[in-house]
Amino acid sequence: MKFPSLIDKRFCKTPIRVNLYREGNDENGEPLSGVEFKGLCNYQDSAKTVLSAEKRLIQLSAQAYFTGDIAPDLAVISDGEAEIFGEKRKIAQGMKARNPDGSVNYTRLDLI
């Protein structure tokens, strides 16, 4: 049975470059290189103002949605960075939304 794609390619128009790291570190303490992806995504961002005792801080967060699995070699997406609109953002969380048969329907990256 073919499951419908929840993220339609027609709505993925924002160019993005993603570097995903494997679990663990090398002998120098650097993250292990994993997968590099360059393509289009559906990008949604937001900003929130937080007032602290000393100053006003603006927190940025965003989500990038991709059709299918952008990193089939990685079982879990836990770390990496993305370059979008010329800015580098850190990946806070990654999710592979799966169909009932175990295949990946879409991938979501939470960026900070």
pLDDT for res 15 = 98
pLDDT for res 29 = 76
Of 65, 59, 60, 61, nearest to 14 by C-alpha is 65
pTM of the model: 0.87
Q: How far is it, in rounded angstroms, from Cα 86 to Cα 33? A: 21
Per-residue pLDDT tens digits for 50-100: 887 778 787 889 999 999 999 999 989 988 999 999 999 999 999 999 999
Query: What does the pLDDT average to over 2-15?
Result: 94
More confident residue, 9 or 23: 9
Q: How far is it, in rounded angstroms, from Cα 50 to Cα 61? A: 13
